[in-house]
Amino acid sequence: MQNRTTHTIYWLASLALALAAWSACAFDSYSDANSAATTSFQQRDWRTAKTDFEAALKLASTPDERAAAQLHIGHCLRMTHCYPEARAAYDKVAKE
């Protein structure tokens, strides 16, 4: 039974990663990615929001857009209790 449970958990985790990667590639503009990320953030879906903010960061064309996306990535990390990573994300904003 444990092998079946472990296999199911790994399968679900890989499915979640595949879906996150697919959603990150699905955006055509910064505003689309930022809008989706903001909606996920408001719904407290921190992992999806982080993935979408990372997509927004890649699509950002201005320093303000990059800073906003990076700041929100830090917030998502903080909300999932990844404090050292959140600190690093906040430091990236402070350096720009």
Separation CA 61–CA 29 (nearest Å):
10
pLDDT tens across 2-30, in order? 566 666 776 666 766 666 655 555 788 99
Report phi then psi at 62, rounded to 5. -120, 160
Give the predicted TM-score (pTM) of the model.
0.72
- Residues spanned by the domain of 33: 2-95
Question: Residue 43 carries which side chain, given as an amino acid letter?
Answer: Q
Structural domain count of the chain: 1
pLDDT tens across 64-94, in order? 999 999 999 999 999 999 999 999 999 999 9
Please report how the helices 46-59 and 2-25 are oriented relative to each other, as an axis angle in degrees rounded to 10.
30
